[in-house]
Amino acid sequence: MRIAFIGLGQMGAPMARNLLKGGHSLAVFDLVAANVAAAVAAGAQSAASVREAVSRAELVITMLPSSPQVRAVYLGEDGVLAGAAPGVPLVDSSTIDPHTAREVAAAAAAGGNPMADAPVSGGTGGAQAGTLTFMVGATAALFDRIKPVLALMGRNIVHCGPSGTGQTAKICNNLLLGISMIGVAEAMNLGHALGIDPKVLAGVINSSSGRCWSSDTYNPFPGVMADVPAARGYSGGFATHLMAKDLGLATEAARQAKQTVPLGALAQQLYQMASAKGLGGKDFSAIIDLLGSAP
Amino acid sequence: MRIAFIGLGQMGAPMARNLLKGGHSLAVFDLVAANVAAAVAAGAQSAASVREAVSRAELVITMLPSSPQVRAVYLGEDGVLAGAAPGVPLVDSSTIDPHTAREVAAAAAAGGNPMADAPVSGGTGGAQAGTLTFMVGATAALFDRIKPVLALMGRNIVHCGPSGTGQTAKICNNLLLGISMIGVAEAMNLGHALGIDPKVLAGVINSSSGRCWSSDTYNPFPGVMADVPAARGYSGGFATHLMAKDLGLATEAARQAKQTVPLGALAQQLYQMASAKGLGGKDFSAIIDLLGSAP
Amino acid sequence: MRIAFIGLGQMGAPMARNLLKGGHSLAVFDLVAANVAAAVAAGAQSAASVREAVSRAELVITMLPSSPQVRAVYLGEDGVLAGAAPGVPLVDSSTIDPHTAREVAAAAAAGGNPMADAPVSGGTGGAQAGTLTFMVGATAALFDRIKPVLALMGRNIVHCGPSGTGQTAKICNNLLLGISMIGVAEAMNLGHALGIDPKVLAGVINSSSGRCWSSDTYNPFPGVMADVPAARGYSGGFATHLMAKDLGLATEAARQAKQTVPLGALAQQLYQMASAKGLGGKDFSAIIDLLGSAP
Amino acid sequence: MRIAFIGLGQMGAPMARNLLKGGHSLAVFDLVAANVAAAVAAGAQSAASVREAVSRAELVITMLPSSPQVRAVYLGEDGVLAGAAPGVPLVDSSTIDPHTAREVAAAAAAGGNPMADAPVSGGTGGAQAGTLTFMVGATAALFDRIKPVLALMGRNIVHCGPSGTGQTAKICNNLLLGISMIGVAEAMNLGHALGIDPKVLAGVINSSSGRCWSSDTYNPFPGVMADVPAARGYSGGFATHLMAKDLGLATEAARQAKQTVPLGALAQQLYQMASAKGLGGKDFSAIIDLLGSAP
């Protein structure tokens, strides 16, 4: 299949490579020349603009930093909607707010292009290994149509419901994740300060009602687990400033929907504060350093 | 073995029955005559005072509501320390602050009685079934000595470290649990308001990084799971006012240890607010009703 | 002077009347026919569209609910920028986010119209009495030019700096106000629960370092002051849902500016929660009812 | 009058000197020899113990760091209640929790000594100048009796009600103060980041509904006011760790009274966090540095 792939950053680049490995033909576009060059070296064809990239595509996939870029790439004068042939399906894997996702999808539909929001989880590691989770907001027909292609990049392809629900699932999961991680950090710090061995405490929690991914798979307290950011000075992983961004999307969506998310709003502030204190580029489990006593 | 059991409330009564079933001889005391009568009917012997109950015991177990009662029962004029023979081990299964636990244990040690703090999790269901988890703060020698008796009441007997660490493990787990539950409630409410099916959302979360006990085992959103409080109007379970109490222990311990627990402190306020709004007797997952839009 | 006035709601209507009283000629527009009729009865001339209203004006003033309306009224096909003659000054008195204010002002400047953001405080009472405070973001030249007209509607006309700073001053003041009010409510509730007479407590606070407008001028505890919303069941005043909206503007602006506003974010959630619990239409000092024990 | 004065720290020492200046005879006690020596040099008489200091006194005044010291000094074997003659009035000016204040006063009453809680505000400057505010919890008769002596140390002597209400007034005021200061810091930081001149913003706030002591008398933003801690690197003033302590008293009292104080609880966490980050010894307005962008 001829696929147009727009956005070849840390996530997009390995995703595109997995499509090439799967035997598809790729026309790519990115503002950074080096990103394009790397994709071309892997077998992709370079396009001079978004419009050109999508003009002969049978499927369009985008992976962009945030809502303004998604609007520009899709709705701009030389954008996806201007260039894609009618009927060609569009898939946006960026993490953006559900409101914008639905707006862009509506504009696409008006032009005859079915569109899915399909944000991912799993990080750069999952992108490289092709083991991402895709949370897809689309009609059932569109979901069935794009699932085989997404399956080349991910292991878990979930249909969340109509347009926008992929983004909704993503920000709701990350809202909870951002809260849980701080909860684990508070519990581990407090236990340590009160004299319990952190590994013992983690063991109790992991077999009890405090059990969560942030505790049993990604524990933020140094020395409790190997192969997690806490074991390597919080390098790698999911950056604190990106968690602050995702919680911003969640709290802003809650505000518009008149929902109350007090812990989410406070968590957003704490990741923001951590970013301002120089932890923005560290993995988000480094939030434990903002709170206190970790050794 | 001759065991003295003090405190025959909703937790203590079934725990005492499991000891009787295990073949031990029990001398019991409780301020409520009906509680004593029920234990006597099950085979226990009634004592006129705490002092009398413990006077011939080879092991003392207490299960009391909070720190003041623990202080009174152990340190009072006719209390445990006044009546127990030297060398008899003492086990307090109440949930109290680690500071008080260590103080009372030090007083017991001064009088020649080794003492363990051994709070439990698992609720009244676990107490009846004998499947509680015991989190034990004690010397290794004392732990080995009391473990067989605790095993008649629980399935999971964990040695957390020296005196006080049992209480520390309990309040740290519940600190995280209280936070996670609100996090799940916020995420489920937000997703529902934004139009995703709650069961689909829970499915995404439970297979992703938001996964936690409050989501996959005890989901607070009505209709997502069967056999949880949310499926029966939030009756039964672990009362909201008790969660407010446990988070109060955790935040107060954090204050004394100069630790920062912002989400825990806010969660404590929210459960307190829910209690003031009439939800205190409901299961703590009813906090979702304070926050918003659950149907 | 010929003035176009767009937006004749609870604030706009009395402001327009004060301009008529001051001897100016008014062309008005509002989507609600009854609002227009009332203004016409007071001496204004009705226009069929925004474009028509502004077409012959020497000054344009707008008073609208929120950012989307401001964008539509100014930037729309038949909007202010399409109809106003070059050089005619534009004044927007809506409370919106500073970012949108600066964007619209830049578009106006590009079309040759100097524009000021001039949100107000003082409520409907101040609008009727002509005693509003105007917080003006504009060049010094524009400020001098519009000040005499604003002085017909307000008593305190403050030049805050360049474009956008009027909105900034407004949301920063209301951020602090929203926080202070909850602080006063917490302090009054706690004192009352602990047995101090609320009037005595207010007296101590008002002559000490807790002193603030929410305590000495607008105390939320019933019985402490006369002639405040707390003395009349929290009717009238500044609605809780509007405070939630203003704190939403402030926290969203903080998010974009990467500033940390933890108490503001939590206050936003509490006013949102109060609105969801049915207090949205009451004065914002009714937040005391969400928190607890007020008699 | 022969007065016993216990506790000659940074507050107690200048208060005692003002009593000496007023012509009273003082018997003093402090654990720090240098503090006693300084008081003796100013005309006081040294006592070997609390008991000896109060044994011949006609009035006892204490100024101690926190509740445990108050309990020890009053209720200890050689303490105030053991040594004071029946009928001698006792005045505790320490800032402690209202619960302890009432307990100690009840013990004093049982021994025949009327007791007042009389915490102060005004800081070391007010103590030296004799311009403190005393918030007094006592019977009307006792208040009348001690007022002339307190007036030598303070300018504003307020009768707050029965035993405990002095402490209640103090912690409620400081609860609000701690919240307001963070509110001002958030508003000033946000305004600065959005481009308004801080002095202009403070001017708008101070003449509007955000007005408060923390803004118009003690503004935390550097450069806005002279002669405040913000103008001298946050030295002097009221230490951040003491604000954390006072908010701890307030939130703990709220917990016991089952009141909801969400902003107070969060403010307590933020001052605690600031203390952990090295700001504990700075004036509490230094909290602005924890939050963000102050230059």
Please give the pLDDT value at position D148. 97
Of the pLDDT bands very low, low, confident and very high (cuts 50, 70, 90), residue C27 is very high
Domain boundary, last residue among D147, D163, D179? D163
Residues A36, A13: Cα–Cα separation, whole Å: 9
Question: What is the pLDDT confidence band of residue A292, given thresholds at 50, 70 and 90?
Answer: confident
Å between D47 CA and nearest CA of chain C: 36
Would you call D295 exposed, middle or buried from its count of C-beta atoms within 10 A (0-12, 13-18, 19+)? exposed
The tens digit of pLDDT for each residue in A131-190 reads 999 999 999 999 999 999 999 999 999 999 999 999 999 999 999 999 999 999 999 999
Residues on D contacting A at a C-beta cutoff of 8 Å: 262, 266, 273, 276, 290-293
Q: What is the CATH number of the domain that holds B77?
A: 3.40.50.720
Nearest-CA distance from D53 to chain A in Å? 39
Question: Chains A and B: how many Cβ contacts under 8 Å?
Answer: 258
- Kindly list the distances between the CA atom of residue C151 and the CA atoms of B156, C21, C121, in Å, as whole numbers in the listed order: 76, 12, 14
Cα(A57)–Cα(A55) distance, integer angstroms: 6
Q: Can you say whether the dihedral through the CA atoms of B176, B179, B182, B187 is positive or negative?
A: negative
Are D260 and B273 in contact (CB < 8 Å)?
Answer: yes
CA distances from D65 to A194, D56, D93, D119, D295 (A): 24, 25, 10, 11, 34
pLDDT at B198: 98
How close B183 comes to chain C (CA, Å)?
A: 14
| pLDDT score of D25 | 97
- Residue D260 is part of which domain span? 168-291
- Residues in A closer than 8 angstroms to D292, CB to CB, are 273, 276
**Residues of C whose CB is below 8 A from D175:** 183, 186-187, 190, 210
D80/D129 same-domain check: yes
Tokens of A283: 């993995």
Place of tokens 């020698």: B141
Q: Which residue of C has its CA nearest to D98?
A: C194
Span B14-23, mean pLDDT? 97
DSSP string, chain A: -EEEEE--STTHHHHHHHHHHTT-EEEEE-SSHHHHHHHHHTT-EE-SSHHHHHHT-SEEEE--SSHHHHHHHHHSTTSHHHHSPTT--EEE-S---HHHHHHHHHHHHHTT--EEE--EESHHHHHHHT-EEEEEES-HHHHHHHHHHHTTTEEEEEEEESTTHHHHHHHHHHHHHHHHHHHHHHHHHHHHHTT--HHHHHHHHHTSTT-BHHHHTS--STTS-SSSGGGGTT-SSSBHHHHHHHHHHHHHHHHHTT---HHHHHHHHHHHHHIIIIITTSBGGGHHHHHS---
**DSSP labels, chain C:** -EEEEE--STTHHHHHHHHHHTT-EEEEE-SSHHHHHHHHHTT-EE-SSHHHHHHT-SEEEE--SSHHHHHHHHHSTTSHHHHSPTT--EEE-S---HHHHHHHHHHHHHTT--EEE--EESHHHHHHHT-EEEEEES-HHHHHHHHHHHTTTEEEEEEEESTTHHHHHHHHHHHHHHHHHHHHHHHHHHHHHTT--HHHHHHHHHTSTT-BHHHHTS--STTS-SSSGGGGTT-SSSBHHHHHHHHHHHHHHHHHTT---HHHHHHHHHHHHHIIIIITTSBGGGHHHHHS---
Chain C positions touching chain B (beta carbons under 8 Å): 262, 266, 273, 276, 290-293
Report how many helices (DSSP H) and strands (DSSP E) chain B contains, helices first.
14, 9
- Residue C12 near residue C61, CB atoms below 8 Å: no
pLDDT for C293: 52
Residue A295: its pLDDT value, please?
A: 43
pLDDT band at B124 (very low <50, low <70, confident <90, very high): confident
Question: Which of A266, A276, A292 faces D276 most closely, judged by CB atoms?
Answer: A292
Pick the catalytic residue: C170, C258, C277, C282?
Answer: C170
Are A17 and A99 members of one domain? yes
Q: Which two tokens stand for residue B227?
A: 């056999």
Instruction: Name every residue in B having a CB less than 8 A away from some CB of C.
Output: 262, 266, 273, 276, 290-293
Digit-coded pLDDT (tens) for A234-281: 998 899 999 999 999 999 999 999 999 999 999 999 999 999 999 999
Residue-wise pLDDT for C173-212, tens only, equals 999 999 999 999 999 999 999 999 999 999 999 999 999 9
Residues facing residue B92 across a β-bridge: B62, B117
Residue B293: the pLDDT is: 52
- D154-161 vs D132-137, strand pairing mode: parallel
Task: List chain C residues with CB under 8 Å of B266.
Answer: 266
Which of chain B's residues have a Cβ under 8 Å away from the Cβ of A131? none
Are both D192 and D149 inside the same structural domain?
no
- Looking at residue D148, its amino acid is P
pLDDT tens by residue, D172-194: 999 999 999 999 999 999 999 99
- Are A186 and A264 in the same domain? yes
Q: What is the pLDDT of residue B205?
A: 96
Chain A positions touching C255 (Cβ under 8 A) are 248, 252, 268, 272
Q: How far is B273 from chain D (nearest CA, A)?
A: 6
**So what's the pLDDT on residue B294?**
43
Interatomic CA distance for residues B137 and B65, integer angstroms = 19
CA–CA min distance B276, chain C (Å):
7
Over residues B81-86, the mean pLDDT reads 96
CB contact under 8 A, D188 and C172: yes
pLDDT tens for each residue of B154-194: 999 999 999 999 999 999 999 999 999 999 999 999 999 99
Q: Do D160 and C200 touch (CB under 8 A)?
A: yes
Residue D101 confidence (pLDDT): 97
Taking CA atoms, D124 is separated from D3, D64, D249, in Å, by 21, 14, 21
Task: Quickly state the pLDDT bin for D293 (edges 50, 70, 90).
Answer: low
Q: What subunits touch chain B, counting only 3 or more CB pairs under 8 A?
A: A, C, D
C135 and C213 housed in the same domain: no
Q: What is the 3-class SS of C123-145, one letter each residue?
A: HHHHHHHCCEEEEEECCHHHHHH
| CA B272/CA B240 separation, integer angstroms | 8
Please judge whether C293 and B273 are an interchain contact, meaning their C-beta atoms are less than 8 angstroms apart.
no
Name the one residue in this structure whose structure tokens are 């001496």: C43
Same domain, D95 and D173: no
- Distance of CA A237 to CAs A224, A230, A249, B204, Å? 17, 10, 20, 20
**Residue to substitute from C157, C165, C172, interface D, most D β-carbons within 10 A:** C172
What pLDDT sits at residue C8? 97
CATH of the domain at C279: 1.10.1040.10
Section C132-153 average pLDDT: 97
| Of the partner residues A121, A165, A208, the one whose CB lies closest to the CB of residue B208 | A121
Provide CB contacts within 8 A for B225, sequence distance 6+: B202, B218, B219, B231
ipTM of the complex: 0.94
pLDDT at position C69: 96
Minimum mean pLDDT among A9-13, A189-193, D121-125, D155-159: which range?
A: D121-125
The partner residue sitting opposite B194, judged by closest CB among A98, A189, A203, is: A98
C1 vs B132, C14, C24, C43, C61, CA distance in Å? 82, 18, 5, 14, 13
Secondary structure (3-state) at B159: strand
Residue D161, classed as helix, strand or coil, is strand
List all residues 6 or more positions away from B167 whose beta carbon is below 8 Å from its beta carbon: B95, B96, B97, B98, B101, B117, B119, B135, B137
In chain D, the number of structural domains is 2
Cα-based distances in Å from D184 to C122, C218, D121, D240, D262:
20, 18, 21, 16, 18
Tell which residue, D146, D148, D152, D183, has the closest CA to residue D166: D146
Residue C5, strand partner residues: C28, C61
Question: Which chains pack against C, by 3+ Cβ pairs within 8 A?
Answer: A, B, D
Catalytic residue from among B21, B147, B170, B277: B170
Among A273, A279, A287, A288, pick the best mutation site for testing chain D contact (most D Cβ within 10 A).
A273
Residue C146: per-residue pLDDT: 98
Most B CBs within 10 A among A186, A218, A224, A269, hence the mutation to make, goes to A186
pLDDT attached to residue C294: 43
Both B208 and B149 in one domain: the answer is: no
Distance CA B153, CA B157 (A): 10
Q: Which pLDDT score is estimated for D295?
A: 42
pLDDT given at position C271: 98
Question: Rg of the Cα trace of chain D?
Answer: 20
Question: Given B174, B180, B187, which is nearest A212 (Cβ)?
Answer: B180
**Cβ separation of C266 and A261 shorter than 8 Å?**
no
The pLDDT value given to residue D11: 95
Q: Are B35 and B149 in contact (CB under 8 A)?
A: no
Domain boundary residue among B162, B196, B217?
B162
Each residue's pLDDT tens digit, C41-69: 999 999 999 999 999 999 999 999 999 99
- The dihedral through the CA atoms of D46, D49, D52, D54 has a sign that is positive
Nearest residue of C to residue D199, measured between CA atoms = C160
With left for phi above 0 and alpha for psi between -120 and 50, is residue A279 left, alpha or beta? alpha
The model's pTM is 0.94
- A270 to chain D: closest CA residue: D291
Tokens of A166: 């992929």
Mean pLDDT for all residues in chain D: 96
User: Chain C residues with CB inside 8 Å of B262's CB?
Assistant: 262
Report the pLDDT value the prediction gives residue D158, as an integer from 0 to 100. 96
Alpha-carbon distance B124 to B121, whole Å? Answer: 9
- Looking at the predicted structure, is the pLDDT value of residue B295 above 50? no
- Per-residue pLDDT at A213: 97
- Residue A144 distance to chain B (closest CA, Å): 17
CB contact (8 A) between residue C190 and residue D253: yes
Residue C295 reports pLDDT greater than 50: no
Closest Cα in chain C, distance from residue B266 (Å): 9
Q: Clarify whether residues A135 and A197 are in a common domain.
A: no
Q: Give the mean pLDDT of C68-75.
A: 96
% residues pLDDT > 70 (chain B): 99
* pLDDT exceeds 90 at position A286: yes
A159: closest CA of chain B, how far (Å): 8
Q: Can you tell me the distance from the alpha carbon of A34 to that of A29, in angstroms, rounded to the nearest whole number?
A: 11
In this structure, are residues C188 and C198 in contact, taking their beta carbons and an 8 Å threshold? Answer: yes
Please count the residues of chain D: 295
Which residues does chain A have within 8 Å of residue D262's beta carbon, measured at their own beta carbons? 262
Q: Are D153 and D128 in contact (CB under 8 A)?
A: no
B170 is catalytic: yes
Last residue of a domain, one of C162, C194, C212: C162
> Are D157 and D178 within one domain?
no
Model pLDDT for residues C268-279, shown as the tens digit of each residue: 999 999 999 999
Structural contact between residues C196 and D168, judged by C-beta atoms closer than 8 angstroms: yes
D294, pLDDT greater than 70? no
D277-288 residue pLDDT tens: 999 999 999 999
Neighbours of C295 (CB within 10 A): 7
Task: Tell whether the torsion through CA atoms of A76, A82, A86 and A90 is positive or negative.
Answer: negative
Among A265, A272, A273, select the one facing C268 at the smallest CB separation: A265
Q: CB burial class (10 A; 0-12, 13-18, 19+) of residue B48?
A: exposed
The tally of CA atoms less than 13 A away on the side-chain side of residue D116 is 33
Query: pLDDT by residue (tens digit) across D119-130?
Result: 999 888 899 999
- How high is the pLDDT of residue A293? 52
CA B266/CA A183 separation, integer angstroms:
11
Residues of D with CB under 8 A from a CB of B: 248, 251-252, 255, 258-262, 265-266, 268-270, 272-273, 275-276
Contact between chains at A248 and C255 (C-beta distance less than 8 A)? yes
My answer on whether C71 and C121 are in the same domain is yes
Does residue A179 share a domain with residue A62? no
Do the beta carbons of residue C73 and residue C50 sit within 8 Å? yes
The answer on D11 and D51 residing in a single domain is yes
The residue to which tokens 């140094």 are assigned:
A222
What does the block give as tokens for A80? Answer: 């996806």
